[in-house]
Each structure stands twice: as C-alpha cells, then as structure tokens.
C-alpha cells in the first residue's frame, strides 16, 4: 500500500525507491539504513532529517545539506542516497567511520540561521555521537559554529582541521599516478598531458602537483581570474569551457561539476584516463560501462576524492597534517586494488570499488558479531 506523500516515484528515482508501493521500512531495508530521524522545531521552523546508513566501521559521518527541496520525499531520497554513499567512501578509504548525512529543508539564503542551526545541533546531539556532521551544500563554517554550541558531534569547524582542498588534491594527484602505472606501466607524469576542469580550491592545488612533476596541463574555469592565476604561476595552458572535453590529453581530471561524463561528452574523449575530484562525475551508472567499453580507465570519484573525508577524520583521530597526507597518498594502492578486482571479476571499476567497500564492511561486521555468535563474553 502506498502511503500519502510517498507515492511511487517516477523516472530515475523509481529504481532507488523500489518498484512497487513504497513503505518507509521497505525503503530502509532495501538501502540498508540503520536509523532515520525526522526532527521538527516549531519555534524556529526547523525541519531536518538525519540518516544513519551503517555504523559497522564507526560513527556515521557526513555533511549537512541545507536545501529547498520540492517535497519531503525528495529530501528523504537525497539524504538516504548521500548517507549510503558516505558508508562506501569511508569503507574504501580505510577509515573507521560509518556513513551518515543530514538535510535541513528550507531556503539556505535565509539570514536567520542561528536558531535553525542550533535546533539542528540539538537533533544531532540527541543521537549521542552516532552521527557526526560537517559542512555541505548551503551550509557555512559559521553555521557549523552554531551547531557546535549544541553538540560536540561536528567536524570542520573554524580553527580545527582547516581547508580540506590541499589534502583532496594530493589524493587526486596520487590517484592519477596510480592510473598512469596501470595504464602505461609507469607512474611518472613528466611528459604526460592532463586536462583539468575547474581551477578552484582543489583544481589549483592539483595543477601545482602536476606541473611540479613536469606534466603538460590544460585548464578551464568559468572564472577567468582562477585560470589566469594558474597560467601565471604554473604555466598551464588555458582552454575554453567546452573545449576541455576535446583536448588531446592522456588524462581528464574533472574538478568542477558533476554529470560531465555523459552520452554527449564520452564520444568526444581522446583521454585514456578519467580521474578527478568532482563528485558524481558520471551522469548515470551506465557511463562507467561506457568508459570501460571505450578503453578509458576510470578512477571512481568517491575513491579518488576521499582526501576531504580523510582531512576531517584527522580531527577525530588526532592526526597531524603529515599523517593525513600520507593517508590520502594511500589512495594510490586502494585504486590499484580496485583495478585488479575489476579485471579479475570482469566488472567496471565503479562496481569493483563498491565490492571492496562491501568486503571490508562484511569482514569488520563479522568481527563485531563473532563474540555473540560464539557465545564468548569479553
Ligand atoms: P571550488 O568551488 O573551489 O572549485 C570549483 C571550480 O569550478 C570553481 O573555480 C568554479 O568557477 C569552477 N567551475 C564551475 N563551473 C565550471 C565549468 N562549467 N567549467 C569549468 N569550471 C567550472 O570547489 P573545490 O573545493 O575545488 O571542489 C571541486 C570539486 O571537487 C567539487 O565537485 C567538489 O564537490 C569536489 N570535492 C571537493 C573536495 C574538497 O576537499 N574541496 C573534496 C571532495 C570532493
């Protein structure tokens, strides 16, 4: 039976939400969620959802997104999908974190934020550390300070681990080298050519690493000041926005937008590797297979861009910046394992990455359950 407000979704969401009548608990069991909390504070109009997907590896960590969703169902779909993604990201990166995410429903341009954010902080605090939040779309570092008034379950606040972009860029750089060794048998990037889309926080630092190793770098950005900085400081070649897909380069490193690997762009690619920081690079899951068919090696986005998560994890684990960089550097070996598994199982690298995450979750899950199963009390 379909409940009011949760009609059978249409189009792409249909698959995610299950094909027949959608019951909330059917949905949670299909996606594997442990807990979903709906919170409401009428005094300030706060409406929030916190989704804890899986805490096998540790407390569920993931940002808070502040967004004017068209419906509550859209908000729920988003928070369920994003929280599950965080479980996989942390698992593959080898972090002791589970997956979670939160959404606040409303206009993220509102100036009246203090009470909203504090209400959100109280909702988070009621979970007793099972969910830890951070910044995401529509939320600022200042907002996180308000959340922090109410709870300690927050990372990325001012004066702590700081800008994650340099760590993310380092992880992406190491990931590109792993792709190079897989593809060419040599991870040296001197003489290789790389097209970087987006010269923002991550893109700029990535260009620094690449040019320092002698790679030929092309860059595009809607913001001319950003490309100019890269050209002047690092000697990269600036290309027009649309031309970035046609550059005759070995590697495409998307560091701006999602969904840029799609039916329109793939036929234009002369790249042999796609490896960059942007989230949700593939327009659809079928584009992973399309890249494979085209002989293009794809570094799954959530694996190669895990440096940002590693950086906030360093706050919880008390790691130095050096240690975070070392951990981000391990993305090199993580990707090589994924490529090996993809080859041996005859699947795409995206599917292989999911399998690596699930293997770790199963292994650690068994470990946790072992005393119960054997009846041994610790
Ligand atoms: P950013 O906002 O600093 O940089 C993005 C850049 O892309 C901006 O300079 C923007 O002008 C440019 N841009 C926008 N539209 C463009 C277009 N059509 N063509 C070319 N350039 C365009 O963001 P960032 O922190 O550098 O992150 C880049 C990507 O990596 C994002 O997708 C982000 O979600 C992802 N990511 C970032 C981190 C991190 O640590 N910052 C971690 C994981 C993933």
- 272-287: pLDDT as tens digits: 999 999 999 999 989 9
Residue limits of CATH 3.40.50.10860 in the chain: 22-90+97-150
| CB of 341 closer than 8 Å to CB of 335 | no
Atom of ligand 1 nearest to the CA of 280: 32
Least confident of 39-48, 133-142, 330-339: 133-142
Q: Is the CB of 165 under 6 A from ligand 1?
A: yes
Q: What is the percentage of the chain residues whose pLDDT exceeds 90?
A: 85
| CB of 147 closer than 8 Å to CB of 154 | yes
The closest alpha carbon to 242, from 197, 294, 298, belongs to 197
Q: How far is the CA of 345 from the centre of ligand 1 (A)?
A: 33
pLDDT in tens, 287-332: 999 999 999 999 999 999 999 999 999 999 999 999 999 999 999 9
Q: Find tokens 């030929």 and name the residue.
A: 216
Q: How far is the CA of 374 from the centre of ligand 1 (A)?
A: 49
Beta strands in the chain (DSSP E): 35-41, 46-54, 60-61, 64-67, 98-105, 131-132, 193-197, 216-220, 237-238, 251-254, 273-274, 297-298
Q: Is the CB of 222 under 6 A from ligand 1?
A: yes
**Catalytic entry in 89, 101, 177, 327:** 101
Whether 377 is a known active-site residue: answer no
Residue limits of CATH 3.40.50.720 in the chain: 165-354
pLDDT in tens, 156-197: 888 888 889 999 999 999 999 999 999 999 999 999 999 999
Q: How far is the CA of 300 from the centre of ligand 1 (A)?
A: 17
- Average pLDDT of the segment spanning 232-240: 98
| CB of 338 closer than 8 Å to CB of 352 | yes
Atom of ligand 1 nearest to the CA of 311: 40
Q: How many CB atoms lie within 10 A of CB 51?
A: 28
pLDDT in tens, 354-373: 999 999 999 998 777 554 44
pTM of the model: 0.90
CATH architecture for residues 22-90+97-150: 3-Layer(aba) Sandwich (3.40)
Atom of ligand 1 nearest to the CA of 301: 44
Q: How far is the CA of 5 from the centre of ligand 1 (A)?
A: 35
Q: What is the secondary structure of 300-341 as a DSSP string?
A: -HHHHTTHHHHHHHHHHHT--HHHHHHHHHTHHHHHHHHHHH
Q: Which are the contacts of 260, defined by CB distance < 8 A and separation ≥ 6?
A: 197, 245, 254, 278, 281, 283
What pLDDT does residue 162 have?
Answer: 80
Q: Is the CB of 279 under 6 A from ligand 1?
A: yes
Pick from 101, 256, 325 the residue to mutate for probing ligand 1's pocket: most ligand atoms within 8 Å of its CB.
256
Q: Is the CB of 164 under 6 A from ligand 1?
A: yes
Q: What is the secondary structure of 109-159 as a DSSP string?
A: T-S--HHHHHHHHHHHHTTTTSEEB-B-TT--HHHHHHHHHH-S-B-S-TT
Q: What is the rounded CA–CA span in Å between residue 171 and residue 312?
A: 14
Q: Which helix (H) or strand (E) holds 63?
A: none
C-alpha pair distances (Å), 22 with each of 13, 44, 215: 12, 31, 51
Q: Is the CB of 171 under 6 A from ligand 1?
A: no
Q: How far is the CA of 278 from the centre of ligand 1 (A)?
A: 6
- Average pLDDT of the segment spanning 104-120: 96
Residue 113 confidence class, pLDDT cut points 50, 70, 90: very high
What pLDDT does residue 370 have?
Answer: 52
CATH architecture for residues 165-354: 3-Layer(aba) Sandwich (3.40)
> What mean pLDDT is reported for the chain?
92
pLDDT > 70? residue 1? no
What pLDDT does residue 6 have?
Answer: 39
What pLDDT does residue 182 have?
Answer: 98
pLDDT > 50? residue 63? yes
What pLDDT does residue 369 have?
Answer: 58
């Amino acid at each position: 039976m379909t409940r009011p407000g949760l009609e059978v979704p249409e189009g792409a969401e249909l698959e995610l939400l299950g094909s027949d009548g959608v019951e909330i608990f059917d949905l949670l069991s299909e996606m594997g969620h442990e807990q979903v909390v709906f919170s409401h504070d009428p005094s300030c109009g706060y409406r929030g959802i916190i989704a804890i997907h899986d805490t096998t590896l540790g407390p569920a960590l993931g940002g808070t997104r502040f967004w004017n969703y068209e419906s509550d169902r859209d908000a729920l779909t988003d928070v369920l999908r994003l929280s599950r993604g965080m479980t996989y990201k942390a698992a593959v990166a080898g972090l002791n974190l589970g997956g979670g995410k939160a959404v606040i429903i409303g206009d993220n341009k509102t100036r009246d934020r203090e009470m909203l954010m504090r209400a959100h902080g109280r909702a988070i605090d009621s979970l007793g550390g099972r969910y830890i939040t951070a910044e995401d779309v529509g939320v600022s570092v200042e907002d996180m300070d308000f959340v922090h008034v109410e709870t300690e379950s927050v990372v990325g606040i001012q004066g702590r681990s700081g800008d994650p972009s340099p760590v993310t860029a380092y992880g992406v750089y190491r990931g590109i080298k792993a792709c190079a060794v897989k593809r060419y048998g040599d991870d040296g990037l001197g003489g290789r050519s790389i097209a970087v889309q987006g010269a923002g926080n991550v893109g700029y630092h990535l260009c620094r690493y690449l040019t320092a190793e002698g790679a030929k770098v092309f860059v595009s950005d809607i913001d001319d000041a950003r490309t100019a900085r890269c050209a002047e400081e690092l000697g990269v070649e600036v290309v027009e926005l649309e031309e970035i897909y046609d550059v005759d380069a070995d590697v495409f490193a998307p560091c701006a937008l999602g969904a840029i690997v799609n039916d329109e762009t793939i036929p234009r690619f002369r790249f042999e590797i796609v490896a960059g920081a942007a989230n949700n690079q593939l327009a659809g899951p079928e584009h992973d297979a399309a890249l494979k068919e085209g002989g293009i090696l794809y570094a799954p986005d959530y694996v190669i861009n895990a440096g940002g998560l590693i950086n906030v994890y360093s706050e919880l684990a008390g790691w130095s910046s050096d240690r975070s960089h070392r951990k981000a550097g391990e993305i090199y070996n993580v990707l090589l394992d994924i490529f090996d598994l993809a080859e041996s199982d005859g699947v795409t690298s995206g599917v292989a990455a999911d399998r690596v995450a699930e293997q770790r979750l199963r292994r650690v899950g068994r470990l946790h359950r072992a005393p119960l199963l054997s009846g041994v009390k610790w």
